[in-house]
Amino acid sequence: MVPMHKLQAMVAAQPRGTPRTPPLWNELVDPDVRALAALMASPLLIAEHAAPIATLTDA
């Protein structure tokens, strides 16, 4: 099992990517609009491919 100090570090280290602005979805209420905003902001998973679609962070 993971020791407590490591767990606390795990929580602290749980990033949501590296957004340059506060997540917009915290301002949104409708669940479908929140899903759309998160989908637009999600980084690509594969490193070699530069994002073809501008994300919310450059809005």
Partner 1 sequence: MRHGWLLDLDAAPQRLREHLAASNARQLGRYAEALWRFWFAHLPGARLHAAGLPVKDALAVRGEFDFIVSLPGLSEVQHLEMAYKFYLYCPPGDDFSRLFGPNAADRLDRKWQHMLDVQLPLSQTALGRAALPQDVGQVTPRACLQGWLFYPLATGSTAPIAGVSPAHWRGWWCRSDDWSSHGAPWTELAGAWALLPRRAWIAPAAIDDPQAMLSPDACRTRIDAHFAASSQAQLVAGLQRAPDGIWRETVRIFVVAPHWPRGSAAT
Tell me how far, at minimum, the Cβ of 18 lies from partner 1, in Å.
Answer: 5
Tell me how far, at minimum, the Cβ of 22 lies from partner 1, in Å.
Answer: 11
Phi-psi region at 37: left, alpha or beta (left = phi > 0; alpha = psi -120 to 50): alpha
Given a contact cutoff of 8 angstroms between Cβ atoms, the answer to whether 35 and 26 are in contact is no
Query: 1-40 mask for partner 1 (x: CB under 8 A)?
Result: xx-x-xxx-xx-xxxxxx----xxxxxxxxxxxxxxxxxx
Q: Please give the backbone phi and psi of residue 52, each rounded to the nearest 5 degrees, phi first.
A: -85, -15
Task: List interacting residues with partner 1 (CB under 8 A).
Answer: 1-2, 4, 6-8, 10-11, 13-18, 23-40, 42-49, 52-54, 56, 59
